Amino acid sequence: MTSSTMHTTLTWQRGTRKERSKIRSTGLRIKLLRESLGMTQLELAEKADISRTYVQALEGNRKTPSVKLLGKLGDILKVDPGSLIPSGDHLKGKRIYLEEIFDRNSGAEYWYKNRRITEEEVEKIEKVISALLD
C-alpha cells in the first residue's frame, strides 16, 4: 500500500465525518479498508463467499453490493456496514426496493440510530409503509 493510500485510509477511518465523505464510492471504501487490513481480493472473496472477480467489480464500482453482502463486508472489514456507503448522492437515479430491505430470510439485523429494531417493530414499520402507500 502506498503512503498516500494509507493516509487516505486512516483519514477515512479516523477522520471527521466531512473527511470521510470525501471518499465518495463504496468500491473505493471497500478497497481501502481491505488494503488497510493487509487482505488480498482473494482473501476477502473467500471470507465473503463471493468470487475474486466480483470483489474486483465491487471495488471498481461496476457492481453494487446487496444489503446482505454489505453486512458481511462490514463484519469482515471491521466497520459498520452503513459506513461503506457514501452520502445518498450515489443513489440518484437508482431504485431501492424496500421489500428487499425487509427480507427477513436474509438473516440481517435491523438497526436505527444505534438501536436494534425487533422483529415486531420491523413488522409495524412495514405496516405503516403499506398503509401510507396503499
The beta strand positions in the chain, using DSSP E, are 110-112, 115-117
CATH number belonging to domain 3-91: 1.10.260.40
Q: Which three cell numbers stand for residue 73?
A: 463486508
pLDDT band at 91 (very low <50, low <70, confident <90, very high): low
Beta bridge partners of 110: 117
pLDDT by residue (tens digit) across 101-110? 777 666 677 7
Question: Is residue 111 over pLDDT 50?
Answer: yes
pLDDT by residue (tens digit) across 31-79? 999 999 999 999 999 999 999 999 999 999 888 898 899 999 999 999 9
CA distances (Å), 119 to each of 95, 111, 127, 129, in order? 25, 11, 13, 16
| Dist CA 61 CA 114 (whole Å) | 28
| Count, residues in the chain | 134
Domain residue extents for the chain:
3-91, 97-134
